[in-house]
Structure 1
Amino acid sequence: MSLTVRLCRPEDEAAWDAFVLASPQAGFCHRFAWQRVLQRAFGHRGHFLLAEQAGEIVGVLPLAEVRSRLFGYKLSSLPFCVYGGIAANSEAAAGALRAAACERAQALGVDALELRNTQDSGSGWPTKDLYYTFRKPITADNDANLKAIPNRQRAMIRKGINSGLEGEEVAGTNRLYRVYAESVRNLGTPVFSRRYLEILREEFGTDCRVLMIREGDEDVAGVMSFYFRGEVLPYYGGSIARARHIKGCNHFMYWDLLRRSAEEGITSFDFGRSKRDTGPFDFKKNWGFEPQPLPYEYFLVKATAVPDVNPSNPKYRLLVDTWRRLPLPLANLLGPPVARSLG
């Protein structure tokens, strides 16, 4: 039977998501709805490729364009997602999708094609040793989950509990956005629009939830998480500046999410992506999670070197330092046009 690769169509959604659900190479970031999310929230054009054989999907590769005067022009799998790349049933299907992606990248004239793999593909393409992920099984026994966390971090969780912090699942995104926008401004990073969070909730429904952490009546931290195939992935999380003076605030937030997830039968906790040699990397590792490299790979079209768009790049140090000093209302106004190109 011949194997073909084509762009997906709206009517492919059910079959695409059924393949993603069944494929061990795929995850939440491969879901079909991301194409609509990226278009609706940022105007990024999707190129979701599928491989077919005998009328059945045998591989998928979600791609989208990101064009920016500041940060270049790329075709990526997948913008605003920490994971991506090819999910396929065979080497033939994977090879066909890779070839089709390269052809599309060349036809578009991008700087580079980026595949955000979770495993080394063996392609020989240049890779970036920058990002790591942290995943660990959890059980239905929260006493065991707590004991699995090293002593120092467990003590911080208890301090958060003793501080009177409380977690609350909420339906909207307004409260999370207020906390998250302040958090990323303090880090020197432009924030996206609140509409993006709303679109995520609309597209993914109950697989996208918000947990807020309160001290009394004040929101001090919050996180939006994705749920897929028995795993929870805390994705957009942050805390206000005052939370630094609340002992164990961030520890409590992630513990409360883990605890709630375990109680509903979730069996895996994905602490998400962090850059090596950073505070978040150490925070997750100190929870007893083993860092796993994310070998993002690149097919260079017009670029002569692997793109390096991240806040740690000295090239962007002045922008980061300036952004930290902006008044929050101004940062929230200026942030979305810049952030749309940072996915």
Structure 2
Amino acid sequence: MYSIATLALQDSRKSEWDQFVKDQDDGTFFHLSGWQNVLWHSFQHQPHFLYALQDNRIVGVLPLAEVKSALFGYALVSTPFCVYGGALGPAEVRRALEQAALEIGQRLGVNHVELRYKQAQDNDWITRSQHATFGCTLADDDAAILAGIKKNQRALIRKALQTDLSWHIEQNNDDFYQIYSESLRNLGTPVFSKKLLDELQREFADSTEILTIRHQGQAVSSVFNFYFRDEVLPYYGGGKPIARELKSNDLMYYQLMCHAKRDKACTFYDFGRSKLDSGAYSYKKHWGMQDSLLHYQFKLVKAEQLSNLSPNNPKYQLFIRMWQKLPLSVSRLLGPLLAKYLG
């Protein structure tokens, strides 16, 4: 049949792993082997990247990493800081990889094992669908892309196009991090370390890019993007407080769609995950994109029930309000100490 092995940090099978991921219809950017190095070097989250072999050929993969915190608990996740995960391969191989993951979780003594599947699975794991992912096929040109956006959202973009806002493709992440960290502070959310961006750009040099909107030379909105096969994924994005007035966030995402189609030959725009009934969920619905429920799955190991780390959890509301009042310099200093456990 097949055997299950663990990918080492420096492993000759990494290229084979990545090719397998790219060949799977449900393979995603977040299944790539490079996340192993990113998670370890950014946060020291111990990876357990499992693969199944048959006749010495990879027939299934499951990226996993430990997230251990005295405050937020201990979990084995596929995959931290990623919106998609879970096992890839034929159904029987996925079930075997899931069982191997559970056995690792039991050996480690984690609270639970979490697999972030996009599609529903035929297994006995607990399924929690609290998020949806959004996306659309990219039309042939800028005008057609704009015409495909819902009327009200399209009007905001047209207004922004008539201003002196300019867009720029960048690799330097300094402006992006300043904007993004301020956006998260304003939301009451700790920001991760800038080292994560550095590691992502190092590990995925040909697949990462930053698009920034500037107003009178000053960066006002910026988004950090991934490219995978024929898809573009605007993954981390934010804007200055003035962005709402300038409509610069709206312009930013539209210009990314146009750039990805025109300059990168992308055919699909993955607008990412949002919690159901959240502000981000409503914003993406206004673009007219199709939403699909995500099927995150869990196995309890030491925990008696699933934890709720959502910002909608009432017990975190006081913390969120306090965080929103922090000086930016303090939030940037303290944020990475907490955010590394919130991926």
Using structure 2 for the length normalisation, give the TM-score: 0.97
Distance 1:42 1:316 in 2: 23
- Please state how far the C-alpha of 1:30 moved relative to its aligned partner: 0.2
The aligned residue for residue 5 of structure 1 is: 4
The aligned residue for residue 288 of structure 2 is: 288
- Please state how far the C-alpha of 1:165 moved relative to its aligned partner: 1.2
| One-letter code aligned to 1:108 | L
The aligned residue for residue 260 of structure 1 is: 259
Distance 1:138 1:15 in 2: 30
The aligned residue for residue 342 of structure 1 is: 342
The aligned residue for residue 62 of structure 2 is: 61
| One-letter code aligned to 2:258 | R
- Structure 2 residue runs of 5 or longer lacking an equivalent are none
Task: Classify the secondary structure of the residue corresponding to 1:87.
Answer: coil
- Please state how far the C-alpha of 1:146 moved relative to its aligned partner: 0.9
Task: Classify the secondary structure of the residue corresponding to 1:251.
Answer: helix
Distance 2:268 2:157 in 1: 20
Distance 2:120 2:107 in 1: 26
- Please state how far the C-alpha of 1:317 moved relative to its aligned partner: 1.1
| One-letter code aligned to 1:227 | Y
- Structure 1 residue runs of 5 or longer lacking an equivalent are none
The aligned residue for residue 93 of structure 1 is: 93
The aligned residue for residue 48 of structure 1 is: 49
Task: Classify the secondary structure of the residue corresponding to 1:11.
Answer: coil
The aligned residue for residue 178 of structure 1 is: 178
The aligned residue for residue 125 of structure 1 is: 125
Sequence identity, in percent? 43
Task: Classify the secondary structure of the residue corresponding to 2:191.
Answer: coil
- Please state how far the C-alpha of 1:91 moved relative to its aligned partner: 2.0
| One-letter code aligned to 2:254 | W
Residue by residue over 1:229-274, the C-alpha shift from the partner in whole angstroms, topping out at 9 and shown as x without a partner, is 100000010001122222x221101001001011021100000000
Matches within 5 A, 1:140-179: 140-179=140-179
Matches within 5 A, 1:269-288: 269-288=269-288
| One-letter code aligned to 1:119 | Q
**Mapped contact 2:64–2:79 kept (Cα < 8 A):** yes
**Mapped contact 1:126–1:306 kept (Cα < 8 A):** no
Distance 1:151 1:245 in 2: 19
| One-letter code aligned to 1:27 | T
**Mapped contact 2:169–2:212 kept (Cα < 8 A):** yes
Distance 1:122 1:240 in 2: 44
The size of the alignment, in residue pairs, is 340
| One-letter code aligned to 1:129 | S
- Please state how far the C-alpha of 1:160 moved relative to its aligned partner: 1.3
Distance 2:169 2:331 in 1: 27
Distance 2:106 2:60 in 1: 21
Distance 2:135 2:124 in 1: 26
Task: Classify the secondary structure of the residue corresponding to 2:297.
Answer: strand
Distance 2:78 2:328 in 1: 31
**Mapped contact 1:83–1:118 kept (Cα < 8 A):** yes
- Please state how far the C-alpha of 1:141 moved relative to its aligned partner: 2.0
The aligned residue for residue 73 of structure 2 is: 72
Residue by residue over 1:129-170, the C-alpha shift from the partner in whole angstroms, topping out at 9 and shown as x without a partner, is 211100111133222111110110000001111222111011
Distance 2:43 2:291 in 1: 31
**Mapped contact 1:133–1:272 kept (Cα < 8 A):** yes
Note if 1:233 corresponds to 2:242: no
Task: Classify the secondary structure of the residue corresponding to 1:102.
Answer: helix
**Mapped contact 2:141–2:258 kept (Cα < 8 A):** no
- Please state how far the C-alpha of 1:307 moved relative to its aligned partner: 2.4
The aligned residue for residue 111 of structure 2 is: 111
Task: Classify the secondary structure of the residue corresponding to 2:222.
Answer: strand
**Mapped contact 1:128–1:306 kept (Cα < 8 A):** no
Residue by residue over 1:102-151, the C-alpha shift from the partner in whole angstroms, topping out at 9 and shown as x without a partner, is 10010010001000000001213212221110011113322211111011
The aligned residue for residue 81 of structure 1 is: 82
RMSD: 0.9
Task: Classify the secondary structure of the residue corresponding to 2:12.
Answer: helix
| One-letter code aligned to 2:200 | L
| One-letter code aligned to 1:136 | C
Distance 2:214 2:176 in 1: 11
| One-letter code aligned to 2:241 | A
Distance 1:8 1:285 in 2: 39
Distance 1:19 1:55 in 2: 13
Task: Classify the secondary structure of the residue corresponding to 1:160.
Answer: helix
Distance 2:189 2:95 in 1: 37
Task: Classify the secondary structure of the residue corresponding to 2:270.
Answer: strand
| One-letter code aligned to 2:49 | F
**Mapped contact 1:208–1:224 kept (Cα < 8 A):** yes
